[in-house]
């Protein structure tokens, strides 16, 4: 996109606030916590920041909505995306939705810490919602204050963009600003709250609509509003399906199931764990949304969750994500059933989710291994044994696959690798050297020989296989301990590592020789440190 540096921010953004124009608003205008009925949103203004300052911005996201670097580095930009100045085309609001949290119906939830500034349409005709997270209270804030702190804002800003560059469907982040205000938070929930620097992320997505939007209307018996909101959603976000009807509602749900399956496959591919897969955190566009206590697998452990709240039940652990997504889809199906009054097509779509996920997952795993195609008769056993090996001792998933790609295993290999050489080859991926025993060495050596034999069938040269594997297995992921290092610096006024990480994470599959330290396994000091392991 060609930037126009001679225009200001007011004229650069083309607002078309279809959501507030076409859907019913909360008639109450006072910004106080309350029950909001028969409405899709409440109009509310951000709180003006006392001394906003730009930490970082995404040039890719800025370019998508037509903003040049010159504009993004201006004082106007900081004022607007800290919520301190409202442009004439904006119509700020917070949306109303409900949801299941940890498997239990929670009732009304809503945007308690997010305020949508409005919707912009770029020159290509793409619609983007601009949303400030941490800009103050809304009618849905419940016991919260609506503000956000720097540590969580850094994590959301960087992870949103890291996910995008990894090729994972996600909401985006335009900017990160500090507010100059202090926010009181009890980080460890131990009765010792402390002031922390406040910050705001401008999140961007074609839509922030969640499963919980539809659930709340059905739960309350507001079926006319359910139909109106669903019709709006289809016409706005799924126009290719045609005018709403029972048949189109079914096709719409089928597409949501497929989009969700594809998103979860990407999570499993890269080792991402969302941490809070409540139905209010599930996007109808199949986007990763709401970056709270997320994390990336360090050692491969399907039972790992980054969320301390989920530490006992592990409902949202890595290995459960595919099944939880299906459970969430079932709740959405229950919510839209009154529009269709026929369970069969909804049940079929939920079953199709399983089939679609399984097909996508198998092909993804074949790609991770550099195989030309997935062959069920041979590859199921090969993949299952590899996953058992990864769990046999603490093995860094990300590093393991990158090291696997560099192994010489094609038919041109003149001799078999010894178990000693294999251990040396993968040594960077092992967290505890003492765990490496003879049993593991024998199993690894046997598996490598089976893997080698399978690759010989494909007749793929090592260099081609390596290129394929390195295009799907990232070298750089946004590890929690790296996030914490950037947070530590930023809280002292040094934003350099935030911007360094933003650059590194733009090319997660590339070799970046000067940034090798950011590709290493988690250091031992970070194993149990708050913010570097699990989060609240």
pLDDT one-digit tens code per residue, 216-247: 999 999 999 999 999 999 999 999 999 999 99
Identify the CA nearest to 282 among candidates 244, 329, 226. 329
The strand pair at 98-101 and 114-121 is best described as unpaired
- The answer to the question of residue 3 being in a domain is no
For the chain, how many residues are written? 536
Assess whether 290 carries a catalytic annotation.
no
The domain total for the chain is 3
Residue 44 main-chain phi, psi, to 5 deg: -155, 145
Q: Going by C-beta distance under 8 Å and a sequence separation of 6 or more, which residues neighbour residue 280?
A: 97, 98, 99, 100, 101, 106, 109, 210, 211, 212
- The answer to the question of residue 214 being in a domain is no
Q: pLDDT confidence of 52, banded at 50, 70, 90?
A: very high
Q: Domain limits at 194? A: 9-208
Check residue 434 and give its pLDDT.
94
Q: Are 352 and 381 in the same domain?
A: no
Q: Are 46 and 188 in the same domain?
A: yes
The strand pair at 98-101 and 93-95 is best described as unpaired
Q: pLDDT confidence of 1, banded at 50, 70, 90?
A: very low
Can you tell me whether residue 144 is helix, strand or coil? coil
Check residue 7 and give its pLDDT.
55
Give 15-30 pLDDT, tens digit per residue.
999 999 999 999 999 9
Q: Are 258 and 160 in the same domain?
A: no
Average pLDDT over residues 266-278: 98
- The answer to the question of residue 223 being in a domain is no
- The answer to the question of residue 215 being in a domain is no
Kindly tell me the burial class for residue 384, based on how many C-beta atoms sit within 10 Å of its own C-beta (0-12, 13-18, 19 or more). exposed
Domain end position, chosen among 367, 382, 409: 367
State both tokens at 342. Answer: 């026929």
C-alpha to C-alpha distance for 299 and 271, rounded to whole angstroms: 10
C-alpha to C-alpha distance for 390 and 382, rounded to whole angstroms: 13
Give 319-376 pLDDT, tens digit per residue.
999 999 999 999 999 999 999 999 999 999 999 999 999 999 999 999 999 999 999 9
- Does the global pTM surpass 0.75? yes
Q: Are 343 and 357 in the same domain?
A: yes
Q: Are 266 and 143 in the same domain?
A: no
Cβ pair 83, 180 in contact under 8 A: no
HSE toward the beta carbon, residue 359, CA cutoff 13 A: 8
> What angle do the packed helices 397-405 and 462-470 form, to 10 degrees?
150
- The answer to the question of residue 218 being in a domain is no
C-alpha to C-alpha distance for 378 and 367, rounded to whole angstroms: 15
Containing 104, the helix (H) or strand (E) segment is strand 104-108
- The answer to the question of residue 336 being in a domain is yes
Check residue 357 and give its pLDDT.
98
Q: DSSP letters of 117-162?
A: EEEEE-TT--EEEEEEESB---TT-TTS-SB-BHHHHHHHHHHHHH
Check residue 10 and give its pLDDT.
84
Give 406-450 pLDDT, tens digit per residue.
998 765 554 455 666 889 999 999 999 999 999 999 999 999 999
Q: Going by C-beta distance under 8 Å and a sequence separation of 6 or more, which residues neighbour residue 484?
A: 526, 529, 531, 532
C-alpha to C-alpha distance for 363 and 111, rounded to whole angstroms: 37
Q: Are 335 and 438 in the same domain?
A: no
Radius of gyration of the chain (CA): 24
CB atoms within 10 A of CB 530: 12
Q: Are 329 and 378 in the same domain?
A: no
CB atoms within 10 A of CB 57: 26
Instruction: Tell me the pLDDT of the chain averaged across its residues.
Output: 94
Average pLDDT over residues 497-513: 98
Q: Is the pLDDT of residue 257 over 80?
A: yes
Cβ pair 84, 48 in contact under 8 A: yes
Domain end position, chosen among 367, 401, 431: 367
Give 66-120 pLDDT, tens digit per residue.
999 999 999 999 999 999 999 999 999 999 999 999 999 999 999 999 999 999 9
Q: In what order do the strands lie in the sheet with 41-43?
A: 41-43, 93-95, 114-121, 127-133, 194-205, 172-185, 53-57
Kindly tell me the burial class for residue 222, based on how many C-beta atoms sit within 10 Å of its own C-beta (0-12, 13-18, 19 or more). middle
Q: Going by C-beta distance under 8 Å and a sequence separation of 6 or more, which residues neighbour residue 277?
A: 315, 316, 321, 324, 325, 328
Check residue 144 and give its pLDDT.
84
Cα dihedral sign for 244, 245, 249, 254? Answer: negative
Average pLDDT over residues 174-202: 90
Can you tell me whether residue 118 is helix, strand or coil? strand
Q: Are 97 and 189 in the same domain?
A: yes
Q: Are 265 and 308 in the same domain?
A: yes
- Beta strands of 250-409 (E only): which ranges? 272-273, 295-296
Check residue 417 and give its pLDDT.
58
Q: Is the pLDDT of residue 187 over 80?
A: no
Question: Bridge-partner residues for 173, per DSSP?
Answer: 203
Q: Are 204 and 306 in the same domain?
A: no
Cβ pair 423, 389 in contact under 8 A: no
Domain end position, chosen among 328, 343, 367: 367
Q: Are 242 and 345 in the same domain?
A: yes
Can you tell me whether residue 427 is helix, strand or coil? helix
Q: Are 363 and 375 in the same domain?
A: no
Phi-psi region of 104 (alpha: psi -120 to 50; beta: other; left: phi over 0): beta
Average pLDDT over residues 136-165: 96
Catalytic residue among 16, 91, 190, 280: 280
- The answer to the question of residue 220 being in a domain is no
C-alpha to C-alpha distance for 461 and 203, rounded to whole angstroms: 43
Can you tell me whether residue 57 is helix, strand or coil? strand
- The answer to the question of residue 221 being in a domain is no
Cβ pair 164, 153 in contact under 8 A: no
């Amino acid at each position: 996109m060609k930037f126009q540096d001679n225009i200001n921010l007011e004229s650069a953004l083309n607002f078309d606030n279809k959501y507030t124009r076409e859907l019913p608003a909360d008639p109450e205008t006072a910004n106080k916590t309350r029950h909001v009925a028969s409405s899709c949103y409440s109009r509310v203004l951000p709180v003006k920041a006392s001394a906003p300052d730009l930490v970082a911005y995404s040039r890719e996201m800025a370019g998508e909505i037509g903003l040049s670097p010159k504009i993004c580095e201006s004082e106007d930009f900081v004022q607007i995306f800290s919520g301190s100045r409202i442009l004439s085309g904006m119509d700020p609001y917070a949306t109303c939705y409900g949801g299941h949290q940890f498997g239990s119906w929670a009732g009304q939830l809503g945007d308690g810490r997010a305020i949508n500034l409005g919707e912009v349409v770029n020159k290509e005709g793409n619609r983007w919602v601009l949303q400030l997270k941490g800009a103050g209270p809304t009618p849905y804030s419940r016991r919260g204050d609506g503000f956000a702190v720097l540590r969580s804002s850094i994590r959301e800003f960087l992870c949103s963009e890291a996910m995008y560059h990894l090729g994972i469907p996600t909401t985006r982040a335009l900017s990160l600003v500090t507010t100059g205000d202090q926010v009181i938070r009890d980080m460890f929930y131990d009765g010792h709250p402390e002031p922390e620097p406040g910050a705001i992320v401008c999140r961007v997505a074609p839509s922030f609509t969640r499963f919980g939007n539809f659930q709340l209307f059905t739960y309350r018996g507001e079926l006319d509003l359910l139909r109106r909101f669903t019709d709006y959603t289809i016409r706005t976000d799924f126009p290719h399906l045609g005018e709403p009807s029972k048949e189109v509602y079914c096709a719409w749900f089928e597409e949501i199931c497929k989009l969700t399956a594809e998103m979860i496959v990407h999570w499993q591919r890269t080792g991402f764990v969302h941490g809070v897969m409540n139905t209010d955190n599930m996007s109808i566009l199949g986007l990763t949304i709401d970056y709270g206590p997320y994390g990336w697998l360090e050692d491969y452990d399907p039972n790992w969750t980054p969320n301390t709240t989920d530490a006992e039940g592990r409902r949202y652990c890595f290995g459960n994500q595919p099944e939880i997504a299906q459970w969430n889809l079932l709740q959405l199906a229950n919510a839209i059933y009154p529009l269709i009054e026929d369970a069969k097509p909804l049940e079929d779509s939920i079953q199709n989710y399983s089939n679609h996920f399984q097909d996508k997952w198998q092909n993804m795993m074949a790609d991770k291994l550099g195989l030309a195609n997935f062959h069920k008769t041979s590859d199921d056993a090969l993949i299952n044994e590899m996953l058992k090996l990864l769990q046999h001792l603490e093995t860094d998933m990300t590093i393991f696959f990158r090291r696997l790609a560099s192994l010489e295993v094609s038919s041109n290999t003149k001799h078999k690798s010894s178990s000693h050489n294999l251990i040396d080859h993968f040594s960077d991926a092992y967290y505890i050297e003492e765990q490496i025993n003879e049993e593991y060495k024998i199993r690894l050596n046997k598996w490598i020989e089976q893997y080698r034999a399978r690759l010989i069938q494909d007749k793929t040269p090592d260099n081609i296989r390596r290129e394929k594997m390195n295009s799907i297995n990232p070298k750089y992921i946004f590890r929690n301990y790296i996030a914490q290092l950037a947070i530590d610096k930023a809280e002292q006024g040094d934003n350099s590592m935030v911007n360094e990480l933003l650059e590194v994470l733009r090319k997660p599959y590339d070799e970046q020789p000067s940034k090798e330290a950011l590709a290493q396994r988690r250091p031992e000091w970070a194993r149990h440190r708050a913010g570097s392991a699990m989060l609240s």
